Amino acid sequence: MGTGHYFWALFYFASLCSASLANNAKINFREKEKKVLDQILGAGKYDARIRPSGINGTDGPAIVRINLFVRSIMTISDIKMEYSVQLTFREQWTDERLKFDDIQGRLKYLTLTEANRVWMPDLFFSNEKEGHFHNIIMPNVYIRIFPNGSVLYSIRISLTLACPMNLKLYPLDRQICSLRMASYGWTTNDLVFLWKEGDPVQVVKNLHLPRFTLEKFLTDYCNSKTNTGEYSCLKVDLLFKREFSYYLIQIYIPCCMLVIVSWVSFWLDQGAVPARVSLGVTTLLTMATQTSGINASLPPVSYTKAIDVWTGVCLTFVFGALLEFALVNYASRSGLNKPNMHKENLKKKRRDLEQASLDAASDLLDTDSNATFAMKPLVRHPGDPMAMEKLRQCEVHMQPPKRPNCCKTWLSKFPTSWLDIQCSRSKRIDVISRITFPLVFALFNLVYWSTYLFREEEDE
């Protein structure tokens, strides 16, 4: 009898377990989710206009934690001083009115797609210029409600944000672009924004920017006080470094080439007027076009940029090469008359000397009939000036030739007589310009790069 009761008890227990498993298998948890949503968000049960209570149900401010995922940074505009970014924006807070039974852990969270069903923080982007949501194929937004009343709001948005830039070191500069988020209507007595602990800002791997590199980002707080109260504010600073290789190839090397090409006129003959004028004017116009193209891609600012110094000095060198030819041409024309007059004077003096020498010879040969011819002694008497002069000339011819001096040879190119100076003054200007212009330009490069690179490191 006892054995039979025991058997029936086991049979009854097994039938109950199988029935319970069958009932659980038939439960539709989506239906349970609907019932829970109707229960916590039903009419007269939840008012989305009332903010949640503070920590542990106190009357303190509601705490909202923020984190961002930067998906891409499309453009960074220098002329508009703005940048465009696409990000996933997340907010998380606790609303104890939304607690529900998770059915022994079977309901991990509830999902909503309508933000107006629950209370939402009145956050806005204070430096936003334009923005839009993404609705393809469905609105990219969701709200998750967890059993403990925690609410997670996530949305994908694209923003165009203002980014005030300091272009004094352009294109050797670094720019800090901020993303600011603040409460519009709730003061810090009712709502406080905090960065999520751990990893508040995430950036997609292999973020590619055409002319910038994202070096790092910093999170901070930026609470603001107005006449209506103090409002909570968060900000993230994105530090961008401009890629210099692009500007080196597109601006600096072409400008150097134009300056060097303008020096070719120093090596052309001073009589080649069309060639030298065409070369100078062409390089000057090309440099001016290059400068205007650079300024067209930058905003009109009141201070001098590093690129302005570079283009201004290069333009000055090209213009100086053109003025140098004008000076050479003037010097060559102004010295034509005086050398001709001097040549005439020299010719006249030469004719006078020749005439004087002929007269002296005729006086020696012209003798009376009573004159006697005397043989000049072959032996040199001391004190004879003519003999001494002859001896000196012989000694000069007997001296061995001296080795040429390089410095004297180079200096001989710069004549010292008045006639030679007048005749080659223009050539002398060209020779000096061939040395002076490259040296001054090299000195400028040394000062320019050392100054701006040092200032870049100092700012960093």
Mind listing the pLDDT tens digit for each residue in 35-80?
Answer: 888 888 877 788 888 889 888 777 889 999 999 999 999 899 999 9
What percentage of the chain's residues is helix, strand, coil (to nearest 5)? 45, 20, 30
Concatenate the DSSP letters of all residues of 393-446 into one string.
HHHHHHSPPPPPPHHHHHHTTS--SHHHHHHHHHHHHHHHHHHHHHHHHHHHHH
- How large is the average pLDDT for residues 82-91? 95
Neighbouring C-alpha atoms within 13 Å toward the C-beta of 409? 5
In 3-state terms, what secondary structure has residue 160?
strand
- How large is the average pLDDT for residues 434-439? 93
Residue with the larger pLDDT of the pair 61 and 13: 61
Cα(299)–Cα(79) distance, rounded to whole angstroms? Answer: 4
In this predicted structure, which of 7-21, 76-90, 120-134, 309-323 has the lowest mean pLDDT?
Answer: 7-21
| Encoded tokens for 77 | 């505009």
At 224, which amino acid appears?
S
Cα(316)–Cα(166) distance, rounded to whole angstroms? Answer: 26
Report strand pairing: 224-226 vs 229-231: antiparallel
What's the pLDDT band for 86 if we cut at 50, 70, 90?
Answer: very high
Residue 377, pLDDT score: 47
3-state secondary structure 331-353: HHHHCCHHHHHHHHHHHHHHHHH
- How large is the average pLDDT for residues 252-277? 89
Q: Is the pTM of this model over 0.75?
A: no
Mind listing the pLDDT tens digit for each residue in 195-215?
Answer: 999 889 999 988 888 889 999
In this structure, what DSSP letter does residue 369 have? T
In this predicted structure, which of 77-81, 184-188, 252-256, 359-363 has the lowest mean pLDDT?
Answer: 359-363
Report the Cα–Cα distance between both ends of the chain, in Å, rounded.
Answer: 93
Residue pair 64/194 in contact (Cβ under 8 Å)? The answer is yes
pLDDT of 6 over the 80 cut: no
What's the pLDDT band for 422 if we cut at 50, 70, 90?
Answer: very low
